[in-house]
Each structure stands twice: as C-alpha cells, then as structure tokens.
Chain A
Amino acid sequence: MRETMRRRIATMLCMLAVGIMALAGSAMALPAEKYLHVNVEDPTNGGSVNVNVPLSMAEKILPAINNHDLHEGKVSIHNAEMNGVDVRALLDAVRTAPDNEFVTVKDKDSDVRVAKANGNIIVHVIDKKNKEQTVDVTVPLKVVDALFSTTKNDELDLAAALRALSDAGDVLLVTVQGSSQKVRVWVDSRNTQD
C-alpha cells in the first residue's frame, strides 16, 4: 500500500518536473521583443529627442492605418517616382551579386556610395554643400526583399518590412551627422537607449 503511494507521488513529481521544464523551455524559446530607436541630439542647445517603439506594436498599428497612400500596411508609390526603373529586377541582380561597391558618384556638391556588404545594402552620402553633412543608411537585404514582396509593382509592403526587421539582428539603420544635429535610427532588443 505504502509502495503504491510512493510510486504515485514519484510519478506526480516527475510529471510536475516535466511540466516545469516544458514551460521553461517555451519561455526561453520566445523571441526577445525588438525596439526601433530614434535618437536626435542637438549639441548646440543641449536638446535631445529619444523615441523607443516596440516593433510588435508598430506591426499591429501599421495595418490599421488607412490614410492617403498608406493602406493595410502597404504604401502606394506612383510610377513617376520610379522613373521607369524595374526595382525588382535590380534587387534580384544585387542579391545574387557578391559584396561590392555598386555606385560611386563624386562631384563638387556631394559624394554618394552604394554598396552591398554582409547581406546589407549600404548607402553613404556626404553633402558637401550642407556643411559636410554625412548620411549613412544600412538596410538588411531581407528587409528590402520584404518591402518589395507585394504582387503589385506600385506598392511597398511596410508591414512585411517591419516583420523582417524584427527577425533581423541588431542593426544601425540610419545615422545623420550634421554640423548642428546628430540623428540615429537603430533596432535592438533593449527597451532603453542607454
């Protein structure tokens, strides 16, 4: 009788342990929340603006906004703005190409460089007219692919791009370094900018 009782207790304890391990496993498997951070600093007056947006929240809000060219998480772009360029074919070519510098423009007003490196599209601009303002944009190719994943040619899928951004690792998307202001946009798993 006592032996049966012991067995029952042992079985229950085992089941409890398995349950706790399963719960812990599923909790560990949950992907960490990603945050889109925007930081604007103006050293001339000591001011700053920090914005931290959970990407999951942005993913929920974006499809709910239907305004002008933005609808169901997609933004319409007009053909005139594409200047007849087949962006999908261009992206396909870039995706299959090895890491390289694709465009380099140097003139008296600005330097522009477009390159592919480590699965990212990198754009570097130096605006010589505007007190040597520099702009660096890094976008993972997966995000660009998601952006152009709609079937329509004149649409960009912002919601899909956000999802891809959320799956991508920590990435510094934009830096603008001007004489008076510094802007940074990045994605990581921390809910603060410290």
Chain B
Amino acid sequence: MILLAKIALGMAGAGLASAGVLCSEGLVNVKVVEKKPQGVHIHVIAPAMLAPIAVHLAPGRALANAARQIQPNMQAIRAALDGLRDSDDVVLVEVKEPGEHVEVAKSGGSIVVDVDDADETVHVSAPIRAISSTVDQLADAGSNSLSQESTAPDQR
C-alpha cells in the first residue's frame, strides 16, 4: 500500500514537474470568435514551449521554404525580438477604421495582437521568448535542409 502511494506520489510529482517545464516559457493564447449567429468560437491555450519543439520535430523539407525566406532577415528579427524583450509594455501599432480595430502590443513579455471587425474578433498572444526560440529553430532547420540540398548532388 505504501509502495503504491509512493509510486502515485512520484508520478504526480513527475507530472507537475513536466507541466512546470512545459509552461516555463509561458502560454500561447489564441481566441477567434465569429460574430454571425452560430459562428465559430475557438479558444486555444497551449504551452509556448511546444512551438519550438514542433518546429524541431517537423520534417526539414516542409520548413525549407519558410526557412529560406526567414534566413536573410534573421539578424534583424533577432534584434527586433531582443529590443522588444527589453522594452516596456507599449502599444506598437493601432489602426482604427469604421467597424475595424487592430492593435499590436507588447504586454508583459508577450506580443499581443487584437483584431475586432464586423465579422469576428481575434486575440493572439505569444511570449517573445517562445517566438525567439521558434524563429531560431526555423532558421536552424533551414540551414540543415540547405546543407542537405547542397550535399545531395555530390552523393548522386
């Protein structure tokens, strides 16, 4: 009986520890609400750490195009993310049109995008640290796939 309790305690501890590690980079929050009757209502909260892991595990070929596009701008993207991380909370961009409101802000270590128009409201929030890791993973995936492409003709 005591052994079973110890195993259960160990498993609960391991579960808590893994949940803590998963949530250590914060949470990605996506909320989409369509305004029409019986419209789609999506609300996803996921550990931000999953994003770089997913990019790491995804096949290189699937990411090659995105990586190729992102790589020439990596220096600027890294500088922007570093600058954002160090800056105070601020509304970076706000666009107001009749029936439409778009806001991009830095809030508490996250980038928050809010869109409110006639059809739907969208709220996306992602921690800057997680975005940084994901972009780094994407660039790495690109460099790996590019190096594989360059060595492929030699093997033929």
Task: Give the interface of A toward B (CB within 8 A).
Answer: 33, 35, 45-54, 56-61, 63-66, 191-192
CB distance from A68 to the nearest CB of B (A): 12
User: Which chain A positions have C-beta within 8 A of B153?
Assistant: none
B79:A60 contact, CB within 8 angstroms: yes
Q: Please give me the residue from chain B that is nearest to A63 by CB atom.
A: B79
Q: Within 8 Å CB of A57, what residues of B? A: 80, 83-84, 86-87
Complex alpha-carbon distance, A128 and B90, angstroms: 38
Q: Do A64 and B79 contact each other (CB < 8 Å), given the known contacts A50-B91, A192-B91?
A: yes
List 7 tightest A-B contacts by C-beta distance, closest first: A57-B83, A64-B79, A60-B83, A54-B87, A50-B94, A64-B75, A191-B90
| Closest-CB distance, B86 to chain A (whole angstroms) | 7
Interface size on B, residues (CB 8 A): 21
A54–B84 Cα distance when bound, in Å, is 8
User: What are 11 A-to-B residue pairs whose CB atoms are below 8 Å?
Assistant: A50-B91, A50-B93, A50-B94, A50-B95, A54-B87, A57-B87, A60-B79, A61-B76, A61-B80, A65-B76, A191-B91
CA A46 to CA B97, docked complex, whole Å: 7
CA–CA, A65 and B83, complex, Å: 14
> Who on chain B is nearest to A62 by CB?
B79
Q: In the bound complex, how far is the Cα of B87 from the Cα of A52, in angstroms? A: 12
